[in-house]
Amino acid sequence: MSLTLSTAGESHGPGLTALVEGLPAGLELDRDAMNRDMARRQLGFGRGGRMKIETDTAEVRSGVRHGRTLGGPVALWVVNRDYQNWEERMNPWPVEAEVPPVHMPRPGHADMVGVWKYGHDDVRNVLERASARETAARVAGGTLAKAFLRALGVEIRSHVTQIGPVHAPVATRPLQVADFEGIDDDPVRTLDADTSKAMVKHITVERKANESIGGAYEVLTFGLHPGIGSHVSWQERLDGRLAQAICSIQAHKGVEFGDGFTLAETPGSQAQDEIFGVEDTEDGDVHTGAVRRRTNHAGGLEGGMTNGNTLVVRAAVKPIPTITKPLRSVDLSTGEPAKALRERTDNCVVPAAGVVGEAMIAMVLAAAYREKFGGDHIDDVKAAVAAYEARIGWTR
């Protein structure tokens, strides 16, 4: 038993579908919490005009009755309100109107290679599916994975750590769930007020210069049991699975766990997280079951498995390729030099990307929990988790 998410839909088509298979029956869902996540993905200073058109919700189409899962596939529907402005251009069926094709691929987008690979002569046939609008369906699906994890005491939070060259200060102590209270009220979803101002200023300045802006965010998962994932085969190593999920998000170019790339320059004796017994506990130690840790260089992963410490995943997001200052490209119908497609766009998506990162991490973790603990009903899962906790002597 695993858990899978499939998405369908185009950016300006009728809407998006998320199909989640493998949830246990009896899992309680909170409609408001689901839609809060949908709204959080639309937040962030630097979004474009499209976000004023959409008010995303995850509408349950199947698999849930009276607020609880039935054990079958759950289908969620996210309507594209903008479709009413695109009905001719994006109609699934032939239309009378002349719809001009797009021939100018944007450097950095799927446009050009997608046209070659799939045999299209209209870039729109590629860009509509490649668009990061698809992440609305990922977040919808992620709300179900989060509900499942929450039922087992696992919570996921994210914050922006970098916008362009502006870095948030490194936390001086391990972050806790409570530190994230109110983070979504910050315009760039960062934890430090002065950094937030500097990030907003940077986006404002770059937007005026017709630039798009990248950055980085961190996703922390609290309360994970040790032993999620496995060392026994490369396919089951959780770091590998998490990296795939994060790097599959549009515009994501890098991922690291814990101290990540910094570990490459750290002497071995300082790069590991020493293990202390309970009798050796000091203030600030992280309780990871029967032992304590004073550091978390590993980001909560050892040997491809969770180790009971907080999972720390950091992702790098490039500046998105739709820019109001179009770059040089060629007209694919003539091969002549041309300016790339210029469209309404976002300038900075990093605050929203953090919410998408949460959803993808939730999907991977929930799948690994399903694989480890099985169970047809959520109570079966809870019983299996409790038995495992007793066997390894683990407490939060």
> What is the binding site for ligand EPS (CB under 6 A)?
11, 48, 50, 54, 82, 131-133, 135-136, 322, 343-346
Q: Would you mind telling me the total number of residues written for the chain in this entry?
A: 396
| Residue type (1 letter), 291 | V
What is each CA distance from 198 to 165, 172, 187, 205, 352, in whole angstroms? 10, 20, 11, 11, 18
Of 99 and 383, the one with the shorter C-beta distance to ligand EPS is 99
Smallest gap from residue 100 Cβ to ligand EPS (A):
16
Of 133 and 297, the one with the shorter C-beta distance to ligand EPS is 133
Residues 6+ apart with CB under 8 A from 379: 26
Of 82 and 389, the one with the shorter C-beta distance to ligand EPS is 82
- DSSP state letters, 50-104: HHHH-----EEEESEETTEE-SS-EEEEEE-GGGGGTHHHH-SS--SS--PPP--
* Eight-state DSSP code of residue 352: H
Of 43 and 198, the one with the shorter C-beta distance to ligand EPS is 43
Smallest gap from residue 51 Cβ to ligand EPS (A):
6
As a whole number of Å, the end-to-end CA separation of the chain is 26
Of 60 and 356, the one with the shorter C-beta distance to ligand EPS is 356
What's the rounded Cα separation, in Å, for the pair 276 and 180? 28
Smallest gap from residue 49 Cβ to ligand EPS (A):
6
Smallest gap from residue 130 Cβ to ligand EPS (A):
7
**Distance between alpha carbon 230 and the CA centroid of its chain, in Å?**
22
Of 55 and 176, the one with the shorter C-beta distance to ligand EPS is 55
Residues 6+ apart with CB under 8 A from 305: 226, 227, 228, 229, 230, 231, 237, 238
Smallest gap from residue 54 Cβ to ligand EPS (A):
6
Smallest gap from residue 347 Cβ to ligand EPS (A):
11
Give the pair of three-digit tokens for residue 387: 């038995």
Smallest gap from residue 352 Cβ to ligand EPS (A):
7
SS3 label, residue 296: coil
Of 69 and 80, the one with the shorter C-beta distance to ligand EPS is 80
Of 230 and 324, the one with the shorter C-beta distance to ligand EPS is 324
What's the rounded Cα separation, in Å, for the pair 75 and 81? 19
By DSSP bridging, strand 286-288 and strand 215-222 are unpaired
Smallest gap from residue 134 Cβ to ligand EPS (A):
8
What is each CA distance from 164 to 25, 44, 396, in whole angstroms? 44, 15, 37
What's the rounded Cα separation, in Å, for the pair 125 and 111? 9
Smallest gap from residue 326 Cβ to ligand EPS (A):
14
**Distance between alpha carbon 130 and the CA centroid of its chain, in Å?**
16
Of 20 and 110, the one with the shorter C-beta distance to ligand EPS is 110
What's the rounded Cα separation, in Å, for the pair 20 and 2? 11
CB-closest chain residue to ligand EPS = 50
Of 48 and 240, the one with the shorter C-beta distance to ligand EPS is 48
What's the rounded Cα separation, in Å, for the pair 330 and 260? 39
Smallest gap from residue 98 Cβ to ligand EPS (A):
21
